Amino acid sequence: MFEKLFESRAVGYQTIFESGDDVSIGTMAATNINQETVFQVNAIFSAVSLISDTISTLPLDVYTRVNDIRQVYRPQPSWVQKPDIDITREAFYNSLIVSMLLDGNAFIRVFSNDRGEIVNLNVLNPLDVEVERKRVGRVRFKVEGTSRPLNSEDIIWIPDVVRPGELRGVSRVKALKENFGLAMALENFAATFFGQGTNLNGIIEFPGNLTKEQADELARRFDNRHRGWKRGHRTGILTGGASFKATQIDPGQSQAIEARRMAIEDVARAFNVPPHLLGLPGTNSYASVEQTNLAWVTHGLRPIITKIEGALSPLLDRYPRGEEAFLRFNLDGLLRADIAARTGAYSQMIQMGVMSINDVRRLEDLPPMEGDAANMVRVPLANVNIEDSDVSAVKSKVGAAQQLVTAGFDPSSVLSALGLPPIPHTGVPSSQLQPVTVGETNPDIPYSDEDQ
């Protein structure tokens, strides 16, 4: 029976249970997962902090549209850069994003003055908020510690993923508790394995019967010499016919390393984070860092950022000309390419007439160049100031007019057809028709009297 029970197998719930982990109600892996204990898993802490720190430290500004042209909105409301007067802007948005990632909901309490202007914003603990819908279809919020229900004017609600017909967003901790619980169990198993012993954990078989005192003394002496990772490789000696049978599986044989790697990949998928950003080597599937960042920003960060922008932008309606204003996080820093790629892109933008020299220098944090030419955009091919961009077109029209006149067309009609202004002629025949000899006595006469 013992041979079947302790036979070598891949790490599973039985192996983890055998390691001595506490049995608690929560998951099939005998681990208790909630919003507090989930941070004990290294991969989850890394994924949540990576997303929240990245977004909360992005530049943020307010814009508006005038005649379909985006312009900076000024004066900027003070709450944009300092939403909570008692903590930093980064800490505010960090806690907001953590609430979205773990609970699936973020609740912000809005405090306004008599004029309706925002004076302070607080991120609430999502466990203290209850969401309900009134008969008329409006959502109300019951916050622990408040005497009355609050409405959407007092609470900004940002759900992450919402099931149809439900109000609250889906909590990753609840929905993926088995995946997260297994990751925690694997870490507990590894910690227990190296903390309580290596390959000597097992049972001692002794022929005959031992009294309780003899058995306890044998186990105590053996543990004192071999228990713990520092004593794990000491030589064991048993006498009296006793034999030791190891019951703990070697990590390599139990596939514990592969199982922990898969647990980290599960966490990466749960939070839409590239696995290599969580420290898994060999998991970058893109050829460059730029492409990797672009994929992460597009599929991982942009949805969260868009939800935050969409929820906070309506607060700008309370300010003059704020109906068309909106909040934007600047993602340019995350999509910044290497120097070779940037210079190539800048060169094309300049040649296309999209950017000026000072536009490029501004993006590279360089001081602007003096002179109007550095602020003017250029056009393709000629690479001249845009005011002189018609020089190439006029040159082409003059060439076409020359060919038409040479072919016998009326010069004035040719100029009119090509949109060129009339130009007075000197009266001197073209050298392309016949040689011209200037008169000897009067240079104004093209031919001499002898030649006429």
Q: What is the pLDDT of residue 15?
A: 40
pLDDT by 10s per residue, the chain, length 452: 444 433 333 444 334 334 444 333 356 666 777 888 888 888 889 999 999 999 999 989 999 988 877 888 889 899 999 999 999 999 999 999 999 999 999 999 999 888 888 999 999 999 999 998 877 778 899 999 888 889 888 999 999 998 888 889 998 888 888 878 777 777 777 666 665 544 445 666 667 677 778 777 777 877 776 665 556 556 666 666 666 666 555 555 555 667 777 888 888 888 988 888 887 766 666 566 667 777 888 888 999 999 999 999 999 998 888 888 999 998 876 766 566 767 778 888 887 778 888 888 877 767 888 888 788 877 665 555 656 666 767 778 888 888 888 888 888 888 888 888 887 777 666 655 555 555 556 656 555 455 44
* Tokens representing residue 228 in the block: 């713990």
Q: Distance of CA 67 to CAs 99, 148, 150, 451, Å?
A: 38, 44, 38, 71
Residue 72: its pLDDT value, please? 86
Place of tokens 């203290």: 128
Q: Is 75 exposed, middle or buried (0-12, 13-18, 19+ CB in 10 A)?
A: exposed
Q: How is residue 378 written in tokens? A: 């250029």
DSSP assignment letter at 38:
G
pLDDT at 281: 67
Q: Each residue of 24-53: b (16+ CB within 10 Å) or e?
A: eebbebbbbbebebbeebbbbebbbebbbe
Cα distance between residue 370 and residue 432, in whole Å: 48
Let me know: does 277 contact 296? Beta carbons within 8 Å: yes
| Residue in the block written with tokens 């530049």 | 59
Closest CA to 187 of 31, 409, 396: 31
DSSP for residue 67: T
Radius of gyration of the chain (CA): 39
- Tell me which DSSP letter residue 299 carries: I
DSSP string covering 314-364: GGGGGSTT-TT-EEEE--TTTT---HHHHHHHHHHHHHTTS--HHHHHHHT
DSSP string, 207-246: SS---HHHHHHHHHHHHHHH-STTSTTSPP---TT-EEEE
Cα–Cα dist 318/313, whole Å: 10
Specify the pLDDT at position 215: 73
CA-angle at 4, arms to 3 and 5, nearest 5°: 90
- For residue 116, is it left (φ>0), alpha (ψ between -120 and 50) or beta? left
- Check residue 109 and give its pLDDT: 95
Nearest to 104 by CA among 138, 137, 131: 131
**Cβ partners under 8 Å of residue 284, min gap 6:** 274, 276, 292
DSSP structure class, residue 287: S
